[in-house]
Amino acid sequence: MAATSSCSLNFGVKGKGKPEQPFSSSKSSQLLFSSNLSFAYNNTKYCLSLHSHQTLLSACLTKTKNSAFVVASAKPEYLKIMISGAPASGKGTQCELITKKYGLVHIAAGDLLRAEIASGSENGKRAKEYMEKGQLVPNEIVVMMVKDRLLQPDSQENGWLLDGYPRSLSQATALKEFGFQPDLFIVLEVNEEILVERVVGRRLDPVTGKIYHLKYSPPETEEIAARLTQRFDDTEEKVKLRLQTHHQNVEAVLSMYEDITLKVNGNVPKEDVFAQIDDALTKLFEDQKLTSGSLAA
């Protein structure tokens, strides 16, 4: 006996609402299109359901006794943020608060460099020479490390927060050529005398990795205080060289991102600094949702 089959197709575009077939997606996803294809073959019924959310498409397959459902949903576009500021402007503190709330991957160019220095690699030795002079490390050393870190799966899936990079127009240009363009470029602005005081009093606990300040955030015990170390470039002489280099280059970097730059007053308490950043990131997130909704309309 010849096999019999039938087929029907239902396709629609939606801005909001629930699809007609059950599917799996995050609560923040917004439906862009939905299509259902049902057919029968050899007396067995099948249903193919497609649902697209935002821009990225993923699929999962579930089966029942009499039918098969192919479900596709999409992951929202991740945030891409850069944060800049002079040494001791509070980037580390704000990055911790941002990543805690928004789940972005924190990538600090300085940490990548220090890891190279600690490893004793040839690049690390070259980088240390420049850093001890308060100069920028050449692009060929840094840019590939940053690029490789941005391309790792966690950065691509969760979004990234790039801390302390780019520091020059040439670095910003190199990132753009690799296809890395931020949604927002945050600049922390702090008075120079405050910056020098913050840097000179800064200490590192080599056991826990925690950063202390002899005046503003002293160690909890005498035992911790006895083992604290000072970074080789955290002296007054070197920080003034670093500040001079920073000021010479920051304006050129800002020219690359002037349309997406947020200047933040970093002289106020850290909670007030974060409030300024949080407002901007919340607005950015809402704007992205509205943009995706307009595309679906």
Q: Which residues are catalytic?
A: 91, 167, 202, 231, 242
Residue with tokens 């947020």: 262
Q: What is the largest CA-CA distance in the chain?
A: 92
DSSP letters, 205-244, are: -TTT--EEETTTB--SSHHHHHH-B--TT-SHHHHHHHHH
Cβ–Cβ < 8 Å for 218, 210: no
The two structure tokens encoding residue 260:
């997406």
Assess contact for 163 and 109: CB atoms under 8 A. Answer: yes
Q: Which of 96, 89, 48, 105 is nearest to 72 (CA)?
A: 48
Q: What whole-number distance in Å separates Cα of residue 124 and Cα of residue 110?
A: 12
Taking the C-alpha atoms of residue 274 and residue 245, their distance in angstroms, rounded to an integer, is: 26
Contact between 161 and 180 under an 8 Å Cβ cutoff? The reply is no
Residues 115/218, Cβ–Cβ less than 8 Å: no
CA 234 to mean position of chain CA atoms: 27
Which residues pair with residue 80 across a beta bridge?
160
| Of 223, 103, 110, the residue nearest 160 (C-alpha) | 103
Secondary structure class of 201 (helix, strand, coil): coil
